[in-house]
Structure 1
Amino acid sequence: MIKCFGLSGVALSVVITLSSAPVLAEQTMSERLGDILEQRVDSHLDADFAYESLELVTLLGELRAQEIRLSTRAPELDAGLNEVLRADSVVVEGEWLGNNTNTLIVDSITAKDAQLTVAYWGKGQSNLHALYNAANEQGKLQRVSQPIIWQVKRAQLDNVVLNLFDQGQPILSVRLASLELPEASADDTADTYIARLLWPVLEQVLEQAMAGNSDAVVDYGRLTQFIWREIR
């Protein structure tokens, strides 16, 4: 997540802290949330989160962010390929500011004018895998003392460019009017989630390209090698 997964997972994790963290006199709640997001992405996901502005609308249960960037720190990837997600705007909605901090539900995440980059460096190894595995590892640590049930019901990227790289080489780049991401929960693994995300998109793009009505840029040789490696 955003992915969207990355933003949603971080948003969910900071809710617990928001209810108990002290408010500095010079900070608004939105500013405090921004600080916590950056700290949690750093310490929990070993990644970097940046934004131009961020607003927490408590009455609506919304988190709104402008010009967001989410990047992993995989040494196998250069800086450009570590940038998983960037978007002009993101809105997170849901009943995730309530009193029950063990059950954290996000109803929807919508990112507009976005770019999602999935960069592999080996079988089952990518920037998205790195994010998901780090989030799941944090979940395991928290469940030892107090189980946390989290779920992202719906995530959508509007006007998104999807890029796929393998071992530093471009495989596919396509602009999609809309990309709906699979539902995510604490029960998923990186492999199962990414399979539900990536393979349907690749199938759709290939069908359109073969029919001659796609503006996707595809290296079919590298894509074939990538698919065979990942499905075996």
Structure 2
Amino acid sequence: MTITHHPGDETLAAFAAGTLDEPRSVVVAAHVALCPNCRAKVAAFEQVAGTLVERTLPAASRSGALDDALARLDEAAPPAPVIREARPDCPGVLAPYDVGPWRWIGPGVYWRKVEVPQSEGTRVFMLKAAPGSSLPHHGHSGIEWTCVLQGAFRHDFGRYGPGDFDEADDTVDHTPFVEQGDQCICLVAMQGDLELRGWLGKLLQPFVRL
């Protein structure tokens, strides 16, 4: 598997530091799980952050602070983890989340919701499209981060296969087209809405609510 498109170093550094919002972190995590190069970068960023923490002088603590902290931990034991069945059509990063059923949204195209807490209107979902299908020409009112899990699509800015990361914002208009072969399955974090272009897009826009 050759991965051509990656998140930028700034995005990977924010992901490593835990400062990226949860919806986008999930999509970056899906890419990192598939990309050895980005896994190495994230590990390097985490190592740098750990070194900086080690070099920071510890603040003096009051007498008895450790005992108080341990007592609070005993009082607030974490809930038992939720065990979910394996889902072969979902990436491992979605294991902590509820994932809805596939729903038809257009010829050869299906959508399913992923219950990741929204952040500033950014939500997570999966898309599945049949070989040879396409989405109408469209833009975005916010950001759209996509990790390809299976299959491949093309648009005005290149080809995106398994593991590739596609980042769009309100300056990007494109027409994704799914290649022949495997059906294309993607994990997406999107803020705002798709803005369909042309007369056909205006007809379909009231029905598109991803």
Q: What's the TM-score, normalizing by structure 2? A: 0.24
Q: Which structure: greater strand fraction?
A: 1
Higher alpha-carbon Rg? 2
Q: Which structure: greater helix fraction?
A: 1
Greater relative contact order (Cα < 8 A, sep 6+):
2
